[in-house]
């Protein structure tokens, strides 16, 4: 069996970028994914990549992620432009705060918003920040594209292989086994399995102290005379991305879970009522219909910050986790940092 220099577990956005950048850096790389097609946490996510975030670290990560997505992801998967609706007073302050990272950021009043997107409702004293260079994506299509790029870079993609053994020898060196009974030989292992990192680390006695949440997301069929754009609503805390004649997104309406699998349920009636209230509040489409809804898992660290780097006590085990529902904004950048700051040294 071939021995790899880098073995990545989990082919979501963080794992796929880690494998791609490792292979492009000249490492013999293997990417292991339990599914044969994108159907994990990334594929079920909201698909938003914006730099309009309060924490400057997240703004920096999102800036790096946008550069990586534009460099490596097919243009067909990308939709440009994102709107943040908030009070005029906060919009003026945020304009100055975000412009360092978003040079093309615009402040639009209610009339300017209506002239561009007639279906967006703005109320008294509200305005919108518009970032033409922020992105939204179809996350499943993005992953399919990335998997092709991973293969083109010379990385082996083991799809349909579930890791169910993690062993440690006396020197605290890790090795992995699959449900087929075979072991993967590698010099360095990177856990990028998101909420499933908890399960992997339990094999070696690590209690990975993360919160797990299930998050509902909804798909609305809409009819409008103007083009669709991604929208973040600061008032009802909702987020939306366009996809053909649909808006996909939701309100921040998470529920606690104790294992990743428990997130894969249909949204509750309360979830549906909440998203309908948020949708009706912000949008005024000619016609619209709620056509689908699903839930997916996210993991959040105890200090709400993302985690990347070497796992304490191990010489060859690395991790990316705690993306907190911001995987597309944090994942590519953290993959880049891990490959350049750890694996390439």
How far is the C-alpha of 273 from the C-alpha of 99, rounded, in Å? 36
From the list 324, 23, 28, 316, the residue with the least C-alpha distance to 172 is 316
Residue ranges in the chain modelled with pLDDT below 70: 1, 170-173, 179-181
How far is the C-alpha of 129 from the C-alpha of 51, rounded, in Å? 11
Other residues' Cβ atoms within 10 Å of the Cβ of residue 277: 13
How far is the C-alpha of 345 from the C-alpha of 339, rounded, in Å? 9
Strand bridging mode 287-301 / 230-233 = unpaired
Specify the pLDDT at position 172: 67
Specify the pLDDT at position 182: 75
Specify the pLDDT at position 1: 54
Give residues with Cβ within 8 angstroms of 128, minimum separation 6.
83, 84, 85, 86, 91, 107, 108, 112, 113, 120, 122
Give residues with Cβ within 8 angstroms of 63, minimum separation 6.
51, 101, 333
Question: Can you list the domains of the chain with their CATH numbers?
Answer: 1-47+138-209+302-345 (3.50.50.60)
How far is the C-alpha of 175 from the C-alpha of 167, rounded, in Å? 5
How far is the C-alpha of 210 from the C-alpha of 322, rounded, in Å? 7
How far is the C-alpha of 246 from the C-alpha of 34, rounded, in Å? 30
Specify the pLDDT at position 180: 62
Do residues 338 and 318 touch, judged by C-beta distance below 8 A?
yes
The CA angle 67-68-70, to the nearest 5 degrees, is 65
Specify the pLDDT at position 246: 98
How far is the C-alpha of 40 from the C-alpha of 179, rounded, in Å? 19
Specify the pLDDT at position 184: 84
Strand bridging mode 78-87 / 230-233 = parallel
Do residues 323 and 194 touch, judged by C-beta distance below 8 A?
yes
């Amino acid at each position: 069996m071939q021995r790899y220099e880098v073995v990545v577990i989990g082919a979501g956005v963080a794992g796929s970028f880690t494998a791609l950048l490792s292979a492009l850096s000249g490492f013999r790389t293997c990417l292991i994914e339990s599914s044969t097609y994108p159907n994990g946490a990334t594929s079920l996510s909201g698909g938003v990549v914006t730099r309009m975030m309060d924490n400057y670290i997240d703004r920096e990560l999102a800036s790096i992620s946008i550069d990586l997505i534009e460099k490596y992801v097919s243009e067909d998967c990308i939709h440009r432009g994102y709107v943040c609706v908030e009070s005029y007073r906060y919009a003026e302050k945020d304009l100055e705060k975000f412009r360092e990272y978003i040079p093309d950021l615009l402040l639009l009043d209610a009339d300017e918003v209506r002239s561009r997107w007639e279906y967006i409702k703005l109320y008294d004293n509200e305005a919108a920040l518009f970032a033409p260079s922020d992105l939204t994506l179809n996350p499943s299509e993005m992953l399919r594209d990335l998997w092709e790029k991973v293969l083109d870079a010379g990385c082996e993609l083991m799809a349909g292989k579930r890791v169910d053994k993690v062993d440690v020898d006396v020197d605290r060196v890790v090795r992995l086994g699959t449900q087929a009974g075979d072991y993967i030989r590698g010099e360095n292992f990177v856990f990028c399995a998101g909420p499933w990192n908890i399960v992997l680390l339990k094999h070696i006695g690590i209690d990975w102290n993360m919160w797990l949440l299930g998050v509902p997301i909804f798909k609305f069929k809409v009819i409008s005379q103007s083009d669709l754009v991604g929208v973040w609503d600061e008032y009802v805390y909702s987020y939306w991305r366009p996809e053909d004649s649909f808006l996909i997104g939701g309100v921040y309406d998470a529920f606690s879970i104790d294992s990743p699998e428990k997130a894969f349920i249909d949204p509750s009636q309360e979830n549906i009522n909440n998203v309908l209230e948020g949708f009706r509040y912000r949008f005024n489409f000619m016609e619209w219909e709620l056509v689908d809804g699903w839930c997916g898992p996210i993991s959040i660290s105890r200090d709400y910050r993302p985690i990347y780097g070497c796992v304490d006590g191990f010489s060859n085990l690395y991790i990316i986790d705690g993306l907190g529902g911001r995987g597309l904004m944090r994942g590519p950048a953290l993959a880049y940092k891990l490959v350049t700051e750890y694996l390439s040294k």
